[in-house]
Amino acid sequence: MGALRINKTNGTSVFLDLSNYVSAKIGEANFSATILDFTKQDGGGELWTVQRFQTSPKCIWEYQMRVAYTAIAAAPIKYGYPNLGSSTSAYMTYDASKFGTAALEQALTDQQEDQIPYTEKTAICPQVDSADKAEALEEEIDNIKDDAETEADALEAECTKAVDSGNTFTWPEIGVVCDSAACCSATKQIYIDHIISKNLDSIITGIEHKHQYLWLDLTQEGP
């Protein structure tokens, strides 16, 4: 069994000996690091952290990631992700697992190669070219979510009032016709998702995936 190579941003490499491990998975990923979760031959576990970027000064790539994953968490289906909730880390972990697991599996199983590099892909928003731009877009995304939820609350109340009076209610934008309180409640999230998706198009020009193969460092998590 070989070793996992971490190519560092300073031009050097560090190696993680995998001889004591039988399996590996992505534990968690966030804006600063990806945590690799290894199972040892004796059944125990060890965590290693692949540090993504330096703390200061922050780089454009991190700002692009922040906007991308904020948008993805707001409208996952729109951007081709399963609905994993509202945590940006959940979607970063999804991408790290999708793109980074292959390197781990190859390093664990390849008896001939002892320098398998760890790589993964991250979502980025290429239009972000500064910290100020990232902050402004993140704020706009949060406002879009808040406004959509406020509108949906008001419409759900109107819908419930209408059906309780024996009438139907047609939701604007999506055209769903409700004749029960259950329909009003179920349609609320459909409306929120539609409005968020539509309004994101007005501020986000696109999301891409960027290959990360250089890392700041590799450190072992404490016991």
Which residues, listed in sequence order, are joined to residue 17 by a DSSP beta bridge? 3
- 69: Cβ contacts below 8 Å, ≥ 6 apart: 31, 88, 91, 92, 123
Contact in structure between 34 and 96 (CB atoms under 8 Å): yes
Identity of the amino acid at 4? L
Handedness of CA 39, 99, 29, 221 (dihedral sign): positive
Question: Structural domain boundaries of the chain?
Answer: 3-124+206-220, 134-200
Q: Residue 21: name the closest of 108, 88, 90, 94 by CA.
A: 108
Instruction: Using alpha carbons only, give the angle 185, 69, 102 rounded to the nearest 5 degrees.
Output: 115
Rounded percentage of the chain residues whose pLDDT exceeds 70: 96
Q: Residue 92: name the closest of 32, 45, 24, 174 by CA.
A: 32
CA dihedral 107, 108, 113, 117 (to 10 degrees): 10
User: Of the ranges 103-112, 128-137, 145-154, which one carries the lowest mean pLDDT score?
Assistant: 103-112
Contact in structure between 84 and 90 (CB atoms under 8 Å): yes
DSSP one-letter code for 19: T
- 3-state DSSP call for residue 178? strand
Which of 20 and 143 is assigned the larger pLDDT? 143
For position 20, what pLDDT does the model report? Answer: 86
Span 83-129, pLDDT tens digits? 999 999 999 999 999 988 888 888 888 655 567 899 999 999 999 99
Q: Residue 169: name the closest of 179, 157, 154 by CA.
A: 179
For position 3, what pLDDT does the model report? Answer: 82
For position 114, what pLDDT does the model report? Answer: 61
Q: Residue 217: name the closest of 96, 65, 48 by CA.
A: 48
Span 183-218, pLDDT tens digits? 999 999 999 999 999 999 999 999 999 999 999 999
Mean pLDDT confidence for 124-146: 97
For position 27, what pLDDT does the model report? Answer: 93
For position 171, what pLDDT does the model report? Answer: 98
Which residues, listed in sequence order, are joined to residue 152 by a DSSP beta bridge? none
pTM attached to this predicted model: 0.91
CA dihedral 104, 100, 85, 169 (to 10 degrees): -130
- Written as six digits, the tokens of 201 are 């198009």
